[in-house]
Amino acid sequence: KAGVTQTPRYLIKTRGQQVTLSCSPISGHRSVSWYQQTPGQGLQFLFEYFSETQRNKGNFPGRFSGRQFSNSRSEMNVSTLELGDSALYLCASSLVGGNQETQYFGPGTRLLVL
């Protein structure tokens, strides 16, 4: 089975712009979670989607949003980018989620905001 894929792998944006990141889960997995990783804050949970519904949400501002499609692929959007949004964004998939089972991570999208 193919693993979790994320596109693009690298991205450079300027402050005020918006960005959309994509995540394709392992075939058959219905849950997708998103995380932000920075040197200062470490890995922080953004949100989880299951069956096209957001099931769980971390403590991030409303500029961070996401959605999931019927094929379980997920996108994450960040509007009005700030310098502090520079980070590695990771997505993880699991069969049914709820964070009760092994999560499989993608390679991440590295976002640099200038």
Name the residue nearer to another protein (CB basis): 52 or 101.
101
Please give the structure tokens belonging to residue 91: 């997505």
Kindly tell me which residue out of 61, 84, 101, 112 binds another protein, with binding defined by CB under 8 A.
101
- Containing 109, the helix (H) or strand (E) segment is strand 109-113
- Tell me if 53 contacts another protein by CB under 8 A: no
For every residue of 35-58, DSSP letters joined together read: EEEETTTEEEEEEEEETTEEEEE-
Name the residue nearer to another protein (CB basis): 22 or 79.
22
Name the residue nearer to another protein (CB basis): 72 or 106.
106
